[in-house]
Structure formats: C-alpha cells, structure tokens
Amino acid sequence: MKPIQAALPFALIAALIATGAFASTDSETQPANAQAAQPSTAPATETASPNEVVIAYFTAIAQGDREKALAQLWFANDAARKEAIAAIGIECAGTDFSQAADDVFPRASQVPLPTRDQVADAIRKTLTGASVDIEGNTAELIIAGTGAGGRVLSILKIDGQWKIDFVRMQRRAGIPAMDEAAVNATMARVKINDEVIAGIKAGRYKTAAAANTDLSNRLDALPTAPAPVRPASQPAATPQFTH
C-alpha cells in the first residue's frame, strides 16, 4: 500500500509536542492513510494575532476538527481550497482512526495514549511564544525545532483576520501541489477511511486489527494515485495590499 503524502507531515506536530508535556506510546491501531474532509461553511475563528491563528490551525488538526482547520487558511483560488480540503483530511487521519479504535476496542498496552486535548495543550504551549515578524498586513512566524532553521509560515491579514497562506505553507515544506486528479484520488481514499471509521463505531469489526486490515485492503484496491504536481519556480500568489 502506498500512502498519499500528507499536507503537513505528522513529524511537525510530533516536534511541536516533544516538549515533555506527556509521554506517548505506540498503539496497535496505527491508521492507514486518510480521514474525510468536508468544505467548511462555518465563519472563520476570530484571531487576535498570527500566533493565535497558527495555534488554532494545529490544535484543530490534532483534535480532528477539519472545519476549524480549514477556516484558518487563505487560498488564492478554488483549486487551492480543494487541495486544502484533501490535505486536511490526510492530516486528521491518524488521530481520527486511532480515536475511533481506542473508543471501541481495549488496548493491549495499559499505558494510555495522550488525549487530543493533551496534544492540543502541548502545541499551544509551544507556539504561544513562537517568533513572529509582522509588517503591515503580512507576517512570518517561525516554529523552532522543526527542521533546519525551523519552519516558517506566511500569514496574511484578510478583512481584519489573520490567515495562514496555505499554498505557501505547503510549498515551503517541499510538498508538491495536487492537481484535480490527485485531489479526486485523495478524496476517494478519504471516503473509504470514513466508511471504516463509521464501521468501527457501528460495531462491524471484532478487533482494531480487523478494521485496519479492511481499510488497507480497500485502499489497496483503488487505482494508483497520480503523482502530485511539482511546485512551480514562481512563488505562490499573495494578495496585494494597500497601506
């Protein structure tokens, strides 16, 4: 099985929470790929600073709140928005599958996994004091300790609210763009993962391993996903502001 590349690798969130806030352990219920994402119709969360919008985004990912995560992002066009919906679905896969399995099946290990709230709290503590450079309606926030020189996020003030520039965030992380075919292939995998999670909650599986096997088999039966489009040499488009 060849998993689709996630929007922001979970290694980033792992780095954010590796602050001694809690000890994590491996679970027997490792997820296979994606969890469904739906377009958000909810209004964006009010944010008072670039730090807060970044905290809102990463805590939403950790808690599996895809609508809230989507609401923290800015897109230059509808294609970028569709890519974000698919990407956020991939990002939420791990916590959503593990949460469903842990809620239904007893774990072999007696050491508890960190809860979503614990992960969110650790992210919040790490990012509250992150270095940010604000110039008018644009800002850059540096997440230290997540790679050589840290991860830099571009943030824009749109209609009075700070938003993360989704496309620039992806490309700065070295993640290629998804074209329409790649988005559709991703969402097909997302749909299957959603169905398996629904099956876990409905009691259709006797064990977490059985659920994971079914998920893997169904994903393997899908056509091979097209390769993502490599980022162009030109930087991502950003809105022009007047001061």
Q: What is 112-166 written as a DSSP string?
A: PPPPHHHHHHHHHHHHHT-EEEEETTEEEEEETTSSTT-EEEEEEEETTEEEEEH
**Model-level pTM?**
0.71
d(CA 183, CA 85): 9
Length of the chain as a residue count: 243
**Residue 226 pLDDT class (50, 70, 90 cuts):** low
**Residue 232 pLDDT class (50, 70, 90 cuts):** very low
Report the pLDDT averaged over residues 143-169. 81
Tokens 């939420």, located at residue: 92
Range ranked top by mean pLDDT from 99-113, 122-136, 199-213: 199-213
Q: Residue 99 has what pLDDT?
A: 84
Per domain, the residue ranges of the chain are 10-129+162-220
Phi, psi of 211 (to 5 degrees): -65, -45
